[in-house]
Structure 1
Amino acid sequence: MTNAVIFGNSGSGKSTLAKRMARDKGLGHLDLDTLAWEPTTPPQRKPLEVSEAAILAFTGEHENWVIEGCYADLIALTFPLADQLIFLDLPVEDCIAHAKSRPWEPHKYPSKEAQDANLDMLLDWIRDYPQRNDSCSRQAHVSLFEAFTGEKQRITSPTD
């Protein structure tokens, strides 16, 4: 049985690793970006209980799964269900390079042009990861990693 949660900074490789695990092990795959936000401009987070209900629905529909995202508050909700935690704790410079070479994510953006129009904001977000103190910060991720009592792995370079 595999119920894994992958988290880290934007551009750390969460989606790439989760998609590979889902493909190789036949797991259901959930990207938390798809349920964390209201479809508004500017974007606003959905109420925590709405996102929690979506996570529980997903885990109830899939016996084995991988969930990935950067939201510590949502990831913490998976702890009673997860048996494996993977923290992609890569240097900011690696995350920036990955974001710049990221392929189009059609589940997040209507076009590659729309995704690229958001790139400067994303790069600033990635750079601020070590200094932020929100639920998507490195500080929150380190606390999550330390709190998890199951099998866990911390990856600190793209080659690990």
Structure 2
Amino acid sequence: MAQRLVGLKDIAWLSLDELYWDNKANGKYLVDSLSALYEFAEWNENWVIEGCQCDLVQAAMGFCEELRFMNPGCEACVSRCINKPRNNKHRDETSKEETPLDRIIASVGQYEYRRDGFGLDKHKALFDSFVGAKKEYTVVI
């Protein structure tokens, strides 16, 4: 959806998932990710941010005019994870060891039961608390 919203328009796009993976290993995930998020919002008048990290989404909500909540169910999300084109850092097809993609799929499969910042309850609470324009999508469009 984020890619379709941006399309060929001159709109900046930030992936919170990329921020998460880029900063997770350095031990300062939240500090560095928030810094990048604030800089992005400051330097771009029109933008789309996408991702599922509640702490980052909550921080971005202060800059948002509209919030869209993709909630098509675990089965659709797992299918999307499997079929999404990835670079080699996400899956090594020759390895029998668990990969980051395997961990992502396991995590997404537990979405409805997770109680951390990656679970349905937290996402729904953020969505419900947003006072601007918002829409929940229960099917993949």
What range describes the TM-score normalised by the shorter chain of this pair?
0.7 to 0.9
How far did residue 26 of structure 1 move? 2.4
100, 111, 116: which one aligns with 1:134:
116
Give percent identity, aligned residues only: 29
Partner of 1:89: 71
Report SS of the residue matched to 1:158: coil
Ranges of 4+ aligned residues in structure 1 off by more than 3 Å: 109-114
User: Which structure exhibits the higher relative contact order, with contacts defined as CA atoms closer than 8 Å and separated by 6 or more residues?
Assistant: 1
Map of 1:71 onto structure 2: 53
CA offsets per residue over residues 12-57 of structure 1, 9 Å max, x none? xxxxx111212244210000122234363xx8561x3332211111
Q: What residue identity is the alignment partner of 1:156?
A: T
Larger fraction in strand = 1
User: How far apart, CA to CA, are the structure 1 residues paired with 2:24 and 2:55?
Assistant: 20
Long gaps (5+) in structure 1 = 1-16
* Structure 2 residue 11 is matched with structure 1 residue 27: yes
The answer on 1:36 being equivalent to 2:5 is no
Superposed CA deviations along residues 35-89 of structure 1, whole A, max 9, x for unmatched, are 234363xx8561x333221111111121100001111111111122100100001
2:132 aligns with 150
Change (3 A) 1:93 1:45: farther
Gapped regions of structure 2 (runs ≥ 5) = none
TM-score (norm 2): 0.84
Write the letter of the residue equivalent to 1:102. Answer: K
CA RMSD of aligned residues (A): 2.2
